[in-house]
Homo-oligomer: A and B are copies of this chain.
Amino acid sequence: MAQGSDKDDRTRIILAHGGGGELTRRLLSDRIIPKLANDLLSPLADSAVIDPQPGKLCMTTDSYVVQPLEFSGGDIGRLAVCGTVNDLAVMGAKPIALSLAMVLEEGLDMAVLDRIVDSIAASARQAGVPVATGDTKVVERGGVGGGMTITTAGLGSLPPGMPPDPQTIAAGDAILVSGPIADHGLAVMAARKGLGIRSTLASDVAPLAGLVAALLNSGDGVKFMRDPTRGGLAGLLADLSEQLGRNIEIRERNVPLTPAARHAAELLGLDPLAVANEGKVVAVVAADAAEKVLAACRAHPLGAGAAIVGHIGETADWPLVELVTAAGGKRIVQRPYGEELPRIC
């Protein structure tokens, strides 16, 4: 997909600014985060840890603009619930409440809205979290392309005890992925392009709190967790490598990928590593705890396809994520530059 010129991306918002990649990072770190700086606003976490009361709270938010609104395995409503509770879950927080703000487009089919609200309600029940407050706006035809957008915010409580601590990450720690990657982004793209692979490819969108609890309860080996959404596994590992100042190595043959996803990625010309997931967690686990945590993950229905895909390397001034290909070669895994898949979540 064409990228804007270097000049264009500084004078105007271009699609690439929203892709979860390098331009997004620059937009946030150069133009937004410094202006909003406060003790709670952290560029390193999707959730804020809030401590005004005895006991810590987590709060997070995301807007959802996926097109089409419904796709194999899910819809924008399920995505809006799961995406936000998963941001809490990977912080180790139990969701307390969700807020739900919808912007609806004039002309939206009421039957579609009904299905999506049903899906929100069902997903919230599944995640065990109440939709505690909300807002609904309507804009003129063409005011939100595609019928609707949803923004959810989530509030969670952190249980007493030590949450995963990325500061303890060391060379040799294992990188665990809880199952096959790229299904969500590919299912949405397949629905959008009308590819016949829809039937075998479905979004993985699911609430992850149970799976995360299983990982945490398996011992104290888990040092970091995050869900590989926009930017996919590649974006997550590039962020992690940069934040840790350490190289990371992953092995292509160990990265779980279904045949349907591999096929769809080839058809669509996409790198599965950079495609969004909505029901997976990536964890960094102490080397000596890796097998135990992997077993705990595989014992959970949402983690049956888990695998150890690589490990943390040494510190480096210019840390890199390297992929050992199936053929035995090596290539650098980069954060996607911009928006390869607009409106995927």
Query: Which residues on A are within 8 Å of B, measured CB to CB?
Result: 10-19, 24, 27-28, 31-32, 35-36, 38-41, 46-48, 50, 52-55, 57, 59-63, 65, 96-97, 99-111, 113-114, 117-118, 120-121, 124, 130-140, 142-146, 149, 151, 153, 155, 157, 339, 342-343
Contacts and interface: CB of A to CB of B under 8 A. Distances in A.
Contacts of A113: 13, 31
Q: Which of A105, A109, A134, A146 has the most CB of B within 10 A?
A: A134
A342 to B, nearest CB: 6
A327 B100 CA distance: 45
A26 to B, nearest CB: 12
B54 A54 contact: yes
Nearest to A133: B48
B36 A131 contact: yes
Contacts of A155: 50, 57, 59, 155
Given A63-B102, A101-B151, 4 more contacts: A35-B118, A48-B97, A50-B155, A139-B145
B133 A63 contact: no
A12 B113 CA distance: 9
A298 to B, nearest CB: 32
A63 B151 contact: yes
Nearest to A32: B117
Contact of A343 (B104, B117, B132, B139): B139
Across the A-B interface, give the 3 residue pairs with the lowest CB-CB distance, nearest first. A18-B138, A153-B153, A151-B151
A10 to B, nearest CB: 7
Nearest to A10: B110
Contacts of A13: 104-110, 113, 138
A61 B144 contact: no
B15 A140 contact: yes
A343 B143 contact: yes
Given A52-B96, A110-B13, A118-B35, A139 B59 contact: no
Contacts of A339: 138
A130 B149 CA distance: 25
A132 B38 contact: yes
11 contacts: A13-B113, A24-B136, A27-B136, A36-B117, A38-B130, A41-B133, A59-B97, A63-B101, A139-B145, A142-B145, A144-B144
A279 to B, nearest CB: 19
B109 A53 contact: no
